[in-house]
Amino acid sequence: MPKLMQYSKGSIVYFEGDKDERIFILQKGLAVSTTTDIESKEPLTEQIKNGEFFGVKSSLGHFPREETVTVLSDSTCVALTVPEFESMFGSNKGVIMKMLRVFSGQLRQVHKKIESILNQDLTINPMSAMISVAQAFYNDEKFRSCCDVCIAFLKRYPNYYDKNEVVKMYTMSKAQADRHANNYEEEAADEVSSGGTLHQFDLPAFQRFAKNYEPGQVIICEFEPGDTFYLIQHGKVQLVKCVNGTNKNLDILKPGELFGEMAILDNSPRSATCMAAGHVQCLEFSKANFELLVAGNPQIALMLLKLFCKRIYDQKRRLKILVINDLQARIADVFCMLDEMNPVSMTNKTLRRFDVTIQDIARWAGLSMDLTRTEIDKYIARNKIEVYENYMIVHSIGDMERMANNGQISRN
């Protein structure tokens, strides 16, 4: 049962860093949320109004509180557990859609900050940007993917002034793709067999939304307008981002995961290219049926909410890494983040094994491969870590925490 909580003026509902999975509704009174800006380290305060929820992200995402909530007058709050919240509000379309839009906006803001730190052009022209994506696929000899981007571009911008160049790139890519089609199918066979399945949505009611994709086929293209999102049923999907004319691998998504959902919530261009890694089946949902889908399928709405909570937390955690100027401390904080993502039942700060490569560390740290390798070599020389082909050994995660904390302090 939800509990009615009484707080006197000046009381703290919870502190930043607390592990408390209750969700609150301010029923009566006045409260404020205070957090620390990741970049400036300045306090940010936001008023909580009567009837508003707070503590939702950390509760649904199962991570420590990001803010401190203080009541400024005698106040009454309703406290709910996550199951109680899901039972009471999971099918409330108005509440769910409002939360999704708020979380989408927060995630977009964090993305923009990260892109700004990585010196990516936030005012880039979407037409020239899509051509850059196609050209990057062509340079990487991923001709099927290049063809798909060219087709998507020509459908979106049929009157583009340099249309013939795009057609030429498509024609050359199509010839190469047809020549290598059989080899591509063989290379993707392992990905197909290991892609897994999602049975939760293997129901007749969902089959009208099902779409099948071949190995290398682009499902959505970075920079194009977004009007659909996807839930993976079978196979894996590769996320790719174009940085300075080169496509960089971001992540591999598996059955049960969603992608493309940000674009239909805030009408923004796609932030990454998503392509099939092997044979893939997805459920495709549009803006037109999205709200109907959420209203009729609370499990999808809650899945989306939890996904946003996790992504916001993950992206803020990455932003905390990127604002560290000392590169040794930045890389140390990458290892700290990996340790947080994969907690072990050890109370002492001892050895850890992480199944990552130098390329993975470079991606998280926002550094080039060469610069990352140079900084990693410094750790190896001091006998702090060992590097192997597909994993790394950190001799003392406590040392990494101290290095990361010192780097954050020296920045202030």
Each residue of 308-362: pLDDT tens digit? 888 889 889 989 999 999 999 999 999 999 998 877 655 556 889 998 888 889 8
| pTM exceeds 0.75 for this model | no
Q: What is the per-residue pLDDT for 265?
A: 66
Tell me the average pLDDT across 215-235. 89
Q: Which residue has the higher pLDDT, 245 or 45?
A: 45
Interval 258-290: pLDDT, tens? 888 776 666 678 888 999 999 999 988 887 777
> Which of 11-20, 200-209, 305-314 has the weakest average pLDDT?
200-209
Longest CA–CA span in the chain (Å) reads 74
- Confidence band, pLDDT 50/70/90 cuts, at residue 73: very high
Asked if the model's pLDDT at residue 183 lies above 90, the reply is no
Q: What is the per-residue pLDDT for 163?
A: 92
Q: What is the per-residue pLDDT for 72?
A: 96
Distance of CA 41 to the CA centre of its chain: 23
Q: What is the per-residue pLDDT for 410?
A: 57
Q: Which residue has the higher pLDDT, 166 or 198?
A: 166
